Amino acid sequence: MLIAQLSDPHIRAEGELYQGVVDSNRMFAEALAHVHALDRRPDLLVLTGDLVDEGRAEEYEMARTLLAASRIPFLVIPGNHDRRESFRAAFSDHAYLPKAGPLHWCVDDHAVRIIGLDSCPAGKHHGHIDAEGLAWLARVLAKDTVKPTLLMLHHPPFTSGIPYMDAYRCMEAQQLEDVVRGAPNVELVLCGHVHRTMLRRWGGTVVCSCPSTTTEIALQLRPDAPPQSHVGPRGCMLHLWDERHGMVSHVSHIGDFAGPYAFA
């Protein structure tokens, strides 16, 4: 099974630029085209939050317009720039999304079980899973401790070292880690939020964050570093599950590059 991951497109209303600088809508359309042009079409597309920039209805209308081009079934979780009820309304045709409360869900229709966690407290930018969400996750994980499972949440549950991102990290992540550590079949935890690829051993598994389809958060590790971003490099993640070899993840850069050449 091949799973493509796109994250943090920050879609805007028609004619509006993200941060007044970049055409995030065009960039997301290009990212979708990139995924569809791969030499093996993914079986599933997952979107790990911040689908839109301000949570406005017209932004979600644009998101659905752009996603109408996808010939790959897709699953969604919210990010801190999404608004839960507007998000729920925009994807009301996605039956796996709960009709009320946090947008936690489980889809078990594929070779890999997919679990989505809503890590976004209303009106806040940091991440948090409350006690009810942790209990829900523990129950879902306990139902099957064998089938390969992929867990998604928007906020990476660790400290990245980039100070202006860590201010909005997933808070009190130890409780979440304790729950995940009890599930030996969680192959991978997928996140967005940081607009970069990061990897960390965590909870007995591996956490992987996905680059944004728009901008890249600058890699600055000084504690007094000011917030900065770059336009590019953009990318997506590809997660390949094989019964014999397990899960392998690849970064796929979006854009035109020299080649291919006849060597490897």
* Number of Cβ within a 10 Å radius of residue 232: 16
| pLDDT tens for each residue of 175-232 | 999 999 999 999 999 999 999 999 999 999 999 999 999 999 999 999 999 999 999 7
Backbone angles phi, psi at 248, to 5 degrees: -125, 135
Do the strands 105-107 and 113-116 form a parallel or antiparallel pair, or are they unpaired? antiparallel
What is the H or E stretch that residue 216 is in? strand 216-217
Beta bridge partners of 11: 52
Confidence tier at 233 by pLDDT (50, 70, 90): confident
Tokens 């809503």 sit on residue: 118
Name the average pLDDT for the chain: 96
| pLDDT tens for each residue of 58-102 | 999 999 999 999 999 999 999 999 999 999 999 999 999 999 999
Per the CB < 8 A criterion, the answer to whether 124 and 169 are in contact is no
Mapping DSSP to helix (H, G, I), strand (E, B) and coil, where does residue 152 land?
A: strand
CATH topology of domain 2-253: Purple Acid Phosphatase; chain A, domain 2 (3.60.21)
- 20 Cβ neighbours under 8 A, 6+ residues apart: none
Q: What's the distance, Cα to Cα, between the start and end of the chain in Å?
A: 25
| pLDDT tens for each residue of 164-176 | 999 999 998 999 9
List strands edge to edge, sheet with 235-242: 74-77, 44-48, 2-6, 235-242, 246-253
pLDDT at 71: 97
DSSP state of 223: T
| pLDDT tens for each residue of 5-36 | 999 999 999 999 999 999 999 999 999 999 99
- Residue 119 in this model has a pLDDT that exceeds 90: yes
* Number of Cβ within a 10 Å radius of residue 58: 14
Domain segments of the chain as ranges: 2-253
Burial of residue 83 (number of CB atoms within 10 Å: 0-12, 13-18, 19+): buried
Confidence tier at 263 by pLDDT (50, 70, 90): very high
Per the CB < 8 A criterion, the answer to whether 125 and 171 are in contact is no
